[in-house]
Amino acid sequence: MTIAITLTIAAISIIGAIATRHGTHNEERNLLDERASEIGLILTSSFSTLQTQLATTAAETKLNGANGKAFLAAADAIIQPQPGASTTLVKVHPSASTPTVRYVASTGTLPTETSGPRAQFLAHALSVEPPDVSSAVFAAGRLRQLAVAYPVGVRDLVVLRQLSIDPQAAGSATAQGQPFHELNVALYVGTKQDPSTLVLTTAGGAVPLTGSVATSTTPFGADDWLVAVKPTSPLVGAFAANAFWLVLGGGILIAIAIGALVETLARRRDYALTLVDERTEELRQSVEKLEEAQDQLLRQERLAAIGELASAVGHELRNPLGVITNAHYLLRSNLDATRDEAASRHLATAEREVGAATLIVSDLLDYSRAREPVMTTVQLADLVEEVRGVIPAPPGITVTTDLPTPSPTVRADRDQLRQVLLNLLSNSYEAMPEGGTITITAVPTGDSVELSVRDTGSGMDEDTARRVFEPFFTRKARGIGLGLAVTKRIVDGHGGTISVTSTPGAGAAFTVRLPAAHEPAPS
Amino acid sequence: MKARVLVVDDEFGMRETLVAILETAGYDVSQAGDGAAALATAQSQTFDVIVMDIRMPELTGVEVLASLTHPPPQIILMTAYALEEQLRIARDNDAFAIMEKPFQVPYLLSVVEQAAAAAAA
């Protein structure tokens, strides 16, 4: 994007610069053409004034061959005498092929030649109709001779004005502040920039003028003279002339500056966006943690409320259960005497159900009555055997123990650990209504011991495995789902961990990891 | 000579079944329905063993235990919901046993028998 913006502005700058140069160039051209025309006009005006004066003088002096001297003196006064300049009155004998002339009188040395280029020029000058001034340049050694001929309108007489010129030195650049000071000028006799016809120049040896040159033809009598001008400095001014570079350079600088600015802003924006993303992520994580904590708090509060209720209900149920147990005992005593088998069977059912209710109440109270463990060193082999004796395996279930010798020992509250094993073992019994095998193992692993109870029962799915330690979570037809919650609470209280792995239909394995004991078990 | 047992419980069902069970077991059983009655009975008559609920209105089993002076009978306390503080006082006043409800009857009978033997000694 930055590059695109920079390139666009640069391209606009280049187009603007080119347009500026085009405009400047046109303006320069127009100005130059104007200057050339002005110079031409000034020359034309001077020339026509001169012609008029010469014609008037010729008429006033009643010019003829005899008073040529007097005419010339008058003419010279008009043309203004100059060093190296001469005015001559010439009689022309026109001839189609080789015209000849006779020099009548002169303000300088009277020439002697009667034919040649000058004679041809003079014959041509005489033939101009209507009579007018003719001009030519002749070589004269290193110098030139500017010849101007004017037929005075009397017989075949022509006034020849000759001026020795050094074109290189004929003029010099006009001083600063004067008209046309900014121009180099070359004046030619004829319509071409022919160095041999150069009359004067301000350009020194640099003729013909090349490059940005404007020309203007100006009539000098019957002939056209050429004025060529070339500016020594831009006519539109240095500033305008350099406008192209100014626009181009300025545009590119602005393009680079804007590009840099855009790049800086883009980077700042990217940085800001990155910051915003990071903060948003942090915020999201904080919110997640907060929600999690809140959920946990709510769950704990709910469990605490349920626990309190369960505890109160459990305690209230203990009295009636006790009364029923007592009543069953009395009934049993009487029935044994009467040998009423049906009644005895029904009473057994009632006794069994009261037993189940009593267990539920015990679970409830165990859960609501968290007790700090009293740690001792517990020998696992003894404890496992004791628990197996307390709840013998139902028919169809085989329990095997696989403990190393000597038995691993752990730091634990013996009664609470006994409760843990009882819960896990009875849990496994219930998971195998069809029978199966339970394997109890204890493996020392460094600073801890892993006690596992593995069954070949129905197992559980992932969701159940994840929630199995939650209080009041149960998938059993009986029970209120506190056994494993109590188990986990006890293990947590020991600084241990409990986990379950299971494959649905292929059994489950509960593993309790407890800190290993460093002291021997009390005998 | 039959050992004399006083059963104290504000719950009628519990009191009645306990009395029946202990009489069946061959004890000379009296009963009281609250703490004040138990205290009066225990001070006017002599018992070897008192089987008493802890949680009763007005005067609790523990308070009765603490108030009894001489001759001190063997006291078996029963509880469905005992506070730690009550259990500590019970132990400090040499309660013979504290039994959590519900309990199995044979267990109760064995404890009462031990208490009676201790009283006779």
ipTM: 0.89
Q: How far is A489 from chain B (nearest CA, A)?
A: 21
User: Per-residue pLDDT averaged across A187-201, rounded?
Assistant: 82
A440 has a pLDDT exceeding 80: yes
Mutation target to probe the A interface, by most A beta carbons within 10 A, among B81, B83, B109 is: B81
Q: Is the pLDDT of residue A278 over 70?
A: yes
Best interface-test mutation with A: which of B10, B56, B77, B105 has the largest number of A CBs within 10 A? B105
From the candidates A308, A313, A317, A323, which should be mutated to test the interface with B, based on the most B CB atoms within 10 A? A323
Highest mean pLDDT among A160-174, B11-25, B77-91, B96-110: B11-25
A362 touches chain B (CB under 8 A): no
DSSP A163-228: EEE-HHHH--PPPTTSTTTTEEEEEEESSS--GGGEEEESSTT--S--SS-EEEEEEETTEEEEEE
When CB atoms are compared, the residue of A316, A318, A330 closest to B102 is A318
What pLDDT is recorded for position A355?
87
Helix ranges (H only) for A61-116 are 68-79
Q: Give residue B48's pLDDT band: very low, low, confident or very high (50, 70, 90).
A: very high
Evaluate if residue A361 carries a pLDDT over 90: no
Q: Which residues contact B77 (CB under 8 A, 6 or more apart)?
A: B52, B53, B54, B61, B62, B65, B90, B95, B97, B98, B99
Q: What is the pLDDT of residue B82?
A: 67
Alpha helix (H) residue ranges in A339-455: 341-368, 380-390, 414-431
How far is Cα A229 from Cα A188, in angstroms, rounded to an integer?
Answer: 11
Alpha-carbon dihedral of residues A19, A21, A22, A23, nearest 10 degrees? 90
More confident call, A415 vs A45: A415
The CATH code belonging to domain B4-115 is 3.40.50.2300
Q: How many CA atoms lie within 13 A of A80 on its CB side?
A: 1
- Tell whether A330 lies on the interface with B, counting CB pairs under 8 A: yes
Q: Which of A55-64, A238-247, A485-494, B78-87 has the highest mean pLDDT?
A: A485-494
DSSP-based three-state secondary structure for A410: strand
By CA distance, what is A365's nearest residue in B?
A: B81
List, edge to edge, every strand of the sheet that includes B74-79: B28-32, B4-8, B49-53, B74-79, B97-100
> Packing angle between helix A243-338 and helix B12-24, nearest 10 degrees?
40
Q: Where in chain B are the domains?
A: 4-115
Confirm if A410 and A517 have CB atoms less than 8 A apart. yes
Instruction: Give the minimum alpha-carbon distance from A362 to chain B in angstroms, rounded to a whole number.
Output: 10
Instruction: Check: CB of residue A185 under 8 Å from CB of residue A198.
Output: no
Identity of residue A226 = L
Distance CA A129, CA A479 (A): 146
**pLDDT of A170 over the 50 cut:** no
Residue in chain A closest to B105 (alpha carbons) equals: A326
Interchain CB contacts (distance < 8 Å): A and B: 49
Q: What is the pLDDT of residue B18?
A: 95
The beta-carbon neighbor of B21 closest among A315, A321, A329 is A329
Residue among B58, B71, B59 at smallest CA distance from B50: B71
Question: Which of A318, A330, A354 faces B101 most closely, judged by CB atoms?
Answer: A318
- Within a 10 A sphere around the Cβ of A7, how many other Cβ atoms? 12
Q: What is the mean predicted confidence (pLDDT) over A12-28?
A: 87
How distant is the Cα of B80 from the closest Cα of chain A, in angstroms? 6
Of chain A, the end-to-end C-alpha distance in Å amounts to 84
d(CA A328, CA A195): 152
Checking if the pLDDT of A149 tops 70, the result is: yes
Q: How far is A321 from chain B (nearest CA, A)?
A: 6
CB interface of A with B, residues 3-22, below 8 Å: none
Q: Report the pLDDT value the prediction gives residue B27, as an integer from 0 to 100.
A: 95
What is the pLDDT confidence band of residue A172, given thresholds at 50, 70 and 90? very low
State the nearest Cα–Cα gap between B70 and chain A, in angstroms. 30
A380 pLDDT band, cuts 50/70/90, is very high
Q: Do A318 and B100 touch (CB under 8 A)?
A: yes
Residues 6+ apart with CB under 8 A from B119: B3, B48, B49, B73, B74
Task: Tell me the sheet residues that pair with A135.
Answer: A148
pLDDT (average), residues B96-120: 90
| CA pair distance A511, A428, nearest whole angstrom | 13
Q: How far is it, in rounded angstroms, from Cα A15 to Cα A6?
A: 14
Measured CA distances, B71 to A228, A243, A412, B12 (Å): 156, 130, 43, 28
Q: How far apart are CA B39 and CA B33, in angstroms?
A: 11
Better-predicted residue by pLDDT, A400 or A308: A400
Q: Could you say which of B20, B81, B104 has the minimum Cβ distance to residue A325?
A: B104
R_g over Cα of chain B: 13
CB atoms within 10 A of CB B117: 13
Chain A: residue whose CA lies nearest to B18? A326
Residue A391 DSSP code: S
Does B13 contact A325 at a Cβ distance shorter than 8 Å? no
A425 pLDDT higher than 90: yes
> Bigger pLDDT: A522 or A112?
A112
Q: For residue A105, which amino acid is it?
A: A
Nearest residue of A to residue B22, measured between CA atoms: A330
Contact predicate B96/B115, CB 8 Å:
yes
Q: Which of A521, A522, A502 is nearest to A510 (CA)?
A: A502
The pLDDT of A228-251, averaged and rounded, is: 82
- The pLDDT mean for chain A works out to 83
| Residue closest to A362 by CA, chosen among B82, B86, B104, B102 | B102
A352 touching chain B per CB within 8 A? no
Partners of A445 in the β-ladder: A448
Structure confidence at residue A80 (pLDDT): 61
CA gap A374, A413 in Å, rounded: 5
Fold of A372-515: Heat Shock Protein 90 (3.30.565)
Task: Scan for tokens 């190296």, then name that residue.
Answer: A84
CB contact under 8 A, B80 and A330: no
Look at A353 and A519; give whichever has higher pLDDT. A353
pLDDT tens for each residue of A39-55: 878 777 776 777 777 77
Lowest mean pLDDT among A289-298, A471-480, B17-26, B88-97: A471-480
Q: Which two tokens stand for residue A288?
A: 């997640």
CB count, 10 Å around CB of A273?
10
Residue of A151, A95, A153, A93 lying closest to A125 (CA atoms) = A151
Task: Report the residue of B11, B53, B87, B101 to disrupt the A interface, i.e. the one with the largest count of A CBs within 10 Å.
Answer: B101
Of A225, A194, A189, whose CA–CA distance to A209 is shortest?
Answer: A194
* pLDDT value for A62: 63
Spell out which residues of chain A touch residue B102, defining contact as CB-CB under 8 Å: 318, 321-322, 324-325, 354, 358, 361
Q: Write down the pLDDT at residue A477.
A: 64
Q: Say which residue, B77 or B94, is predicted with more confidence.
A: B77
**Beta-carbon separation of A322 and B104 below 8 A:** no
pLDDT, one tens digit per residue, over A426-437 is: 989 988 988 999
Contact residues on chain B for A324, CB-CB shorter than 8 A = 102
The alpha carbon of residue A453 is apart from the nearest alpha carbon of chain B, in Å, by 30
Query: Residue A332: is its pLDDT beyond 80?
Result: yes
Please determine, for residue A66, whether its predicted confidence score (pLDDT) is greater than 60: no
Q: What per-residue string of b and e applies to A479-506 under the rule 16 or more CB within 10 Å gives b? A: bbbbbbbbbbbbbeebebebebebeeee
